């Protein structure tokens, strides 16, 4: 009952910035945590950042100090501001949401992904 649509990816030079957006629709009231994951060629999918409805955040060590996750509850949208981008940030970035519509029940949703390429 939750749909996620990412946008904002693209090609950027090292040191540049991008802001990714993830718009959520459906049973928004049940979403506790949203986050961003990424998967680079030849690598496992990894967590980038998460944010709770209350605004608590967590970041992967590789992006701390460079990336900022935020949310706009009124717009049902989560953002990932990416600064000081490095070539190793190149990946497909996926929006994720964890939903808890019932006690003991967890539903996990994923967006379609958006490509971020950092290259000179």
Would you say residue 7 has pLDDT above 90? yes
In the prediction, which pLDDT does 56 show? 95
**Can you tell me the distance from the alpha carbon of 118 to that of 92, in angstroms, rounded to the nearest whole number?**
11
Q: What is the mean pLDDT of the chain?
A: 94
pLDDT band at 65 (very low <50, low <70, confident <90, very high): very high
**Can you tell me the distance from the alpha carbon of 24 to that of 68, in angstroms, rounded to the nearest whole number?**
19
Would you say residue 101 has pLDDT above 90? no
Question: Between these two residues, 110 and 73, which has the higher pLDDT value?
Answer: 110
Helix (H) or strand (E) segment spanning residue 7: strand 2-7
Looking at residues 28-50, what average pLDDT do you find? 93
Q: How many whole angstroms from its chain centre is CA 39?
A: 12
DSSP assignments along 17-57, one per residue: -EEEEEEEEESGGGEEEEEEEEE-TTS--EEEEEEETT--E
């Amino acid at each position: 009952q939750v749909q996620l649509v990412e946008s904002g990816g693209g090609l950027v030079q090292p040191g540049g910035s991008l802001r990714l957006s993830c718009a959520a629709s459906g049973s928004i009231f049940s979403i506790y945590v949203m986050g961003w994951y990424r998967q680079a060629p030849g690598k496992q999918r990894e967590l980038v950042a998460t944010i709770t409805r209350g605004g608590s955040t967590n970041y992967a060590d590789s992006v701390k100090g460079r990336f900022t996750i935020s949310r706009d509850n009124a717009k049902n949208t989560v953002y990932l501001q990416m600064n000081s981008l490095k070539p190793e940030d190149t990946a497909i970035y996926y929006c994720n949401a964890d939903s808890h519509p019932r006690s003991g029940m967890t539903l996990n949703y994923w967006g379609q992904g958006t490509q971020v390429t950092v290259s000179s």
